[in-house]
Chain A
């Protein structure tokens, strides 16, 4: 089992920070796996940016390296080439400047809802009073104040994911990074969580990078959609979703965007 990745999480000026850059920049990221002497190129020259306060979705067919890219951006896996910068500083490891939300929630089952939300805060330099009020605020934000003393086992999938979002946002990160966060819940819950996420985004003004394989979900949520292609994983195109929110699935413009993105995913080189 690996130890903890210690040391500086985001670099300083001496390590190639770029002043004045906001949001996230994925700059020429490539990843090659060994594959038993038969190197596999999982990602090739992936470049795109997410501006501060923007909501970007990353979609692509399975096997296009979405999850690998997600892990590289989160600092959980190293890239073979290129770099990821957050607010101008290269990401060299996991950092509390990013709130990360995983598909399977990964709540700490031995902690109550409020303890889960407070986990990251306990490792910050906030006072106890500040931490407590921040936890209250986050529980309020995701509508789970009543369940603060419950353990995760007694929550539904949708509630667990709300806790995970609150936990990720509690430390007030620059970026909310989400990997298929609504992939494990039923369709009705998913739509509700999507609406709630947009509300949270509107009220917090966070930058959001949201990985999904669900094209309609991407069109519902994103300002822009980064469409990836497979073998090797790369950016096929970046699509602007110029549809006003709230977006309705019955709206012709919505359907056009879905069709356009589907076509890009299905397209072969």
Chain B
């Protein structure tokens, strides 16, 4: 028999072999969370699973290493979704001790899958310094907020000049011809700001006057109106959006005048361009989502003590109040604010009534929302 044909048939017939995978049975069973033994050797190093969180500056990590005497090693994923994927994939033998970067749209999935273990930080006096807004989505012992911001729509003021194109007063305005092919959205399937904005649209359309349509009808109409969907925030903001710094970068397309970012992104733009920006946020009620990012000890960590120390370090006054400059996000500490330098605070907008969907509902319905979103935008 022809070898190629033989190989193909062999592969196609291997379906019955899937029964050999006994782990599928174990993984499918509902389980009560227990503290797992270390998934890797404890060699004194602290292994941190994260994405490119800018707050983890060289000086911040060096300071920790010299004060704790521990070496820090990073296992980097491309984004918050990647952090959760990695933890799910290595569930039976976790390779890191500490997770940094899951937000409130992903956190409940991690908790429900027993991927995190309790931290003692909630008993520390430092925990009292965390603002109530940061603790609103979750205030248990499995994850500690370390930064926050509100995801909302940003638009280019050069396009929305008030004469030729007027300021949208409803999300439905974006389905009109003047916005045809001029909006870019990071996909909720692969981007955390994309996911946050999709959650906001659920609440927005549940609370509007029209009971005949829901968020996915809007997404479907946006798709028909030529909206661009990208895999991550960077592609939407940097490659497509005309209002941001992307216009000065390589690979820029500049075909969209509205995208998803943070309400304070115009402030960041000004901060990096000597108090100059032509981007601003679209402040429609319920069209934004308060995003909180968390740090948590991984269930299966080897260096738990080191992980506890790092949480304390990340939430210390000296480090966390510098979040706006270092991480371009708000600090989670009480009484902290954005810097005045170069118009950062001036251009940063405060969201008008962010969407309020509890994380338990997010976890329960997310799979269905993502499926609906996919069908609506295909």
Answer whether A and B are interacting partners. no
* A-binding residues in B (CB < 8 A): none
* B-binding residues in A (CB < 8 A): none
